Amino acid sequence: MPTRIDASGERIAFTFDGQRVEARSGDTVAAALIAAGIDATRRSALSGMARGPYCMMGICFDCLVAIDGVPNRQACMVEAREGLVVTTQDGAMEALS
């Protein structure tokens, strides 16, 4: 979980579903996605409806994404870093063993 605030505002970039997303150093992936106007990060396993960041503190699991190929990551709990590859999570994905 990100524990620091970087007042320098250094810009970094990662991709979400192939789209470049810019963030400030210290932002979470979820915060950067919201700032970029992206509000859906996964599709429900039951209904297929779009879901996205809601609580922003790791309680609700609505912001699940795959990060660098690892599914079931909470975007609100992962600090954005240069070069991350973030993708929409469709349904309930099994974790890699």
Tens of pLDDT, residues 27-85: 999 999 999 999 999 998 888 899 999 999 999 999 999 999 999 999 999 999 999 99
Strands, DSSP E only, in the chain? 11-16, 19-24, 42-43, 50-51, 64-67, 70-74, 85-90
Which element (helix H / strand E) includes 31?
Answer: helix 29-35
Give the C-alpha separation, 8 to 15, whole Å. 22
Domain boundaries defined on the chain: 11-89
- Model pTM score: 0.84
Q: From CA 90, how far away is CA 44, in angstroms rounded?
A: 7
Say which CATH architecture domain 11-89 belongs to: Roll (3.10)
Model confidence at 96: pLDDT above 90? no
